[in-house]
Structure 1
């Protein structure tokens, strides 16, 4: 049984219809917590844990595989930023997760890392 939404999710996003690209351009507001020339990090608007941060490349790549193939240096920068944020926002216990493809839970087709933890550094 296929859902219409699942079919929509299978289509690659373009910069014009990508919510993360709109955050990068400033067209959509986000709670930005860190940035670099190639990456941007912000709080997830629908957190799945006490700490739920997203780290994205500023340039549009549909998933982490595409990012890795096209720009391993940017992927490295993204990973460094994600682990730095994990150290700053958690007590040291965290998940760093990429969902690649709709069957793996990817719903926004712009490469992004989730930093997840139920243990925030400040205990909140």
Structure 2
């Protein structure tokens, strides 16, 4: 376990959702990841996919638990297939300057409308 990961951090919003301590509309749950609707959706489809264990960034997750990252992407695809015809944007923010407000890696599955480029 790296110094950037702490599976027992009680302040971690996503760990509290994963544990069932905070309400969320869960759309998928397995032994590695949980997916739930974003409380402040930015698109018609906006689902967060989070690993059950805390890893701060997507790079940390890739280095420390690559199978979990692969599962996260698989679940993102499943959500997109079910909710927006398989067309989606998968976004990971890494760091406060780019919008990461919870220091627990999470993929934003966004879809259900056309997107422009560049984002933001």
**TM-score interval, normalised by the smaller of the two chains:** 0.7 to 0.9
TM-score (normalised: structure 2): 0.84
Larger radius of gyration: 1
Structure 1 ranges of 4+ moved more than 3 A: none
Kept in 2: contact 1:13–1:109 (CA 8 A): no
Cα drift, residue 63 of structure 1: 1.3
TM-score (normalised: structure 1): 0.82
Deviation sequence 1:30-59 (CA, Å, 0-9, x none): 100001101000000000010000000001
Unmatched tracts of structure 2, length 5 or more = 114-120
The aligned length equals: 108
Q: Give the RMSD, CA atoms, in angstroms.
A: 1.4
Structure 1 residues 67-82: aligned runs within 5 Å: 67-82=61-76
Kept in 2: contact 1:39–1:78 (CA 8 A): yes
Change (3 A) 1:13 1:71: closer
